[in-house]
Amino acid sequence: MRSDIIFMHAPSVYDFRKKPIFYGPVSDVIPSSPVFEMYPIGFMTISSHLEAAGFKTRIVNIAVQMLASDKFDVEKRIAGLNAKVFAIDLHWMPHAHGAIELAKIVKKYHPDSLVEFGGLTSSYFYRELIQRPEIDLVMRGDTTEVPTVRMMEVLEKGGDLSTVPNLTWKDRDGHVHENEVTHSLQSLDEVMFDYGTMIKCVMRNMDIGGALPWFGWDKLPLTSVFTVRGCSINCAECGGSHYANGKVVCRKAPAFRSPEKLAEDMALIQSYLDTPIFIVGDIRQQSMSYAERFLEACKQQRIKNHVVIELFNGATPEYFKRLDSVFEGGWSIEFSPDSHDEKVRMALGKGYTNEAIEKTIPAAFRNGCSRFDLFYMNGLPYQDRESSLYSVQVSERLWASVNREDGLFIYNAPFAPFVDPGSRIFEEPEKWGYKLRARTLEDHRKLLDNPSWKHVLSYETQWMTRDDVAEVSYDAALVLAQKEFEAGRIDESVKDDRCERTEFARGLMHKVDEIMLIKDAEERDARLWETKDEGTRMMNSTIANKKDLDWDAGSIWSNAPRVGIGLLKSFFRK
């Protein structure tokens, strides 16, 4: 079936199945695998706007299908697709290799189709991207739903692409044109967040596997709603900070979704799926008034799905009591202080104290919190080995502050693999004590082709080399496992298994280091291939138990009756 536009998501490295790669712990604390097969939410919102305008869309997650089967033939799959435009996301920097390789394959089999790139990384490196022969269009910005509809209308009617805001494009003679970024919504109320559109498109295209947000989502689904695009906070390492948004997508201020619309989004999800709903962005970021309006709207909508909220700083018992009075299906918290060393955290731009963290955790559990995930990182400004280990050693005190049965999960992982383009650290690395090994898109592409996660790291700091960041990440994992055992949260066999995996991963990293010193390319490659099976086996849960990140939810198949009822209701919904 021909589509007007197909949204396609690439693996981080193409073809990862045919390369000896030791990924290490780079994705231990996110839902997807080291292949980074999770596509951005923009696929759904842009598709919703296009479908409403009469265009046929489709999502094809190539990365998920490659993970699902070693026999999956990427070129055959792409050759069998049919669309006027193939839209490939380069939203996150780790896709710098795979996204461009997919673009080459699209052009190979569909030379008359147009290849479009979009996302935050595309917006930063748009001039470098548009020079590539396989790329025809680059859409810049973070609210590109309306510009994409306009682009498709122009392409369909043979109009002038210079009228499409935010678009960088090539004419028939190959000349490059840059349209200014003039479309940047001040409110997200105009954006359609409709999971129903995705469900209908999947049914029309008869392709559930190709549309999965990440591998395994069908068995343990998690949905999300967005409070905001942009941010009011200026974390130095973040490519989504206030500073980065101004530089990359010309956003002067955050664009919030109204509290009432946000609650409607959650009610719509609830009508289709009984799955946890992750609210992206602290609902207090705009104001406490915004948070109160949102909670009141959720109460009126009777949100019964489990809800996961973010904290950008500490919170009071009163705030948690209010959450507990609203969310009938329970609620959990995600909190990323990044470091328990206040000097490090303050340098990053997170202006809250350890006291705030240590009061927040027990207050949450005393007032109904089901689960609390806390995240720390290694490789930050002013962070040396002692500072990194302090963040996991303090877990002893944090676990002691709550009951043993309380679901407090503490994670520690390397700041990897890249410093975000557009972040304050990326733009002024020396100021923050960083030395960057990659500045251009091509630099990052080359790094991704390395056989070990340590060699992919794009930075080192004046406090820690790449070797130091890698070693302390494994050391911290051992300390954290021991502390979790001593706190009575895991038994000795689980602790021993995690420590054994950690040391095995460290040994595999050292083995790859030694192989990389071999000067003869043929011998070096042969030795690297000997590590392939071990590297694949260590893809997930390298230094943490990745299953801890799973949310207790029924599969999409158990939700089938609700999906059917939701679709029926959607035909009568205005």
What's the confidence (pLDDT) of residue 550?
Answer: 67
What's the confidence (pLDDT) of residue 311?
Answer: 98
Q: Name the pLDDT band for 195 (thresholds 50, 70, 90).
A: confident
Are residues 392 and 435 part of one domain? yes
Are residues 227 and 179 part of one domain? no
More confident position, 505 or 106: 106
Q: What are phi and psi of 378, to 5 degrees?
A: -120, 140
DSSP letters, 307-329, are EEEEESS---HHHHHHHHHH-TT
Convert the pLDDT of each residue in 36-91 to its tens digit: 888 999 999 999 999 999 999 999 999 999 999 999 999 999 999 999 999 999 99
Q: Is residue 568 part of a domain?
A: no
Domain end (from 190, 210, 235) = 190
pLDDT exceeds 90 at position 421: yes
What's the confidence (pLDDT) of residue 569?
Answer: 60
What's the confidence (pLDDT) of residue 54?
Answer: 95
Q: Going by DSSP bridges, is the β-strand pair 277-280/223-226 parallel, antiparallel, or unpaired?
A: parallel
Q: Which of 107, 5, 117 is nearest to 58 (CA)?
A: 5
In three-state form (DSSP H/G/I as H, E/B as E, the rest C), the secondary structure along 404-465 is: CCCEEEEEEEECCCCCCCCCHHHHCCHHHCEEECCCCHHHHHHHHCCCEHHHHCCEEECCCC
Are residues 337 and 398 part of one domain? yes
Distance CA 89, CA 139 (A): 10
Distance CA 293, CA 263 (A): 10
Taken in order 285, 287, 288, 291, the sign of the CA dihedral is negative
DSSP 8-class letter at 142: S
- Residue 56 structure tokens: 């046929």
Q: Best-predicted range by mean pLDDT among 35-44, 199-208, 532-541?
A: 35-44
Q: Is residue 201 part of a domain?
A: no
Taken in order 414, 420, 426, 431, the sign of the CA dihedral is negative
Are residues 370 and 260 part of one domain? yes
Q: Which of 359, 340, 361 is nearest to 403 (CA)?
A: 361
Q: Which of 293, 221, 222, 229 is nearest to 264 (CA)?
A: 293
Q: Name the pLDDT band for 536 (thresholds 50, 70, 90).
A: confident
Convert the pLDDT of each residue in 257-286 to its tens digit: 999 999 999 999 998 888 999 999 999 999
Are residues 240 and 163 part of one domain? no
The arithmetic mean of pLDDT across residues 533-539, rounded, is 78
Q: Is residue 567 part of a domain?
A: no
Q: Which of 240-249, 458-467, 553-562 has the lowest mean pLDDT?
A: 553-562
pLDDT exceeds 60 at position 563: no
CATH number of the domain where residue 64 is located:
3.40.50.2300
Q: Which of 554, 555, 540, 551 is nearest to 373 (CA)?
A: 551
Are residues 233 and 378 part of one domain? yes
Surface-to-core class of residue 291, CB atoms within 10 Å of its CB (0-12 exposed, 13-18 middle, 19+ buried): buried
Are residues 168 and 231 part of one domain? no
Q: Is residue 420 part of a domain?
A: yes
Q: Is residue 180 part of a domain?
A: yes
Q: Are 176 and 168 in contact (CB under 8 A)?
A: yes
**Could you tell me which residues are beta bridge partners of residue 377?**
413
Q: Going by DSSP bridges, is the β-strand pair 83-89/407-414 parallel, antiparallel, or unpaired?
A: unpaired
CATH number of the domain where residue 385 is located:
3.20.20
Distance CA 315, CA 320 (A): 8
Q: Are 32 and 38 in contact (CB under 8 A)?
A: yes
**In terms of residues, how long is the chain?**
574
pLDDT exceeds 70 at position 573: no
Give 114's Cβ-side CA count (13 Å radius).
21
CB atoms < 10 A from the CB of 327, how many? 24
Q: Is residue 301 part of a domain?
A: yes
- Residue 210 structure tokens: 């190709």
Are residues 155 and 243 part of one domain? no
What's the confidence (pLDDT) of residue 218?
Answer: 79
Q: Is residue 371 part of a domain?
A: yes
Q: Are 148 and 46 in contact (CB under 8 A)?
A: yes
Q: Is residue 213 part of a domain?
A: no
Are residues 230 and 183 part of one domain? no
**One-letter amino acid for residue 140 of the chain:** R
Distance CA 81, CA 108 (A): 12
List Cα–Cα distances, 125 to 152, 155, 299, 324, 435, in angstroms: 23, 24, 43, 44, 20
Distance CA 140, CA 121 (A): 9
Domain hosting 230: range is 222-549
What's the confidence (pLDDT) of residue 568?
Answer: 53
Q: Total structural domains in the chain?
A: 2
Percent of the chain predicted with pLDDT > 90: 80
The chain-wide mean pLDDT, for the chain, equals 92
pLDDT exceeds 60 at position 471: yes
Distance CA 491, CA 485 (A): 6
What's the confidence (pLDDT) of residue 545?
Answer: 67
Are residues 168 and 226 part of one domain? no
Convert the pLDDT of each residue in 166-178 to its tens digit: 999 999 999 999 9
Are residues 298 and 162 part of one domain? no
Surface-to-core class of residue 488, CB atoms within 10 Å of its CB (0-12 exposed, 13-18 middle, 19+ buried): exposed
pLDDT exceeds 70 at position 183: yes
pLDDT exceeds 90 at position 574: no
In three-state form (DSSP H/G/I as H, E/B as E, the rest C), the secondary structure along 231-263 is: CCCCCCCCCCCHHHHHHHCCCCCCEECCHHHHH
Distance CA 316, CA 300 (A): 24
**pTM passes above 0.85:** yes
Taken in order 123, 125, 127, 132, the sign of the CA dihedral is negative
Are residues 419 and 332 part of one domain? yes
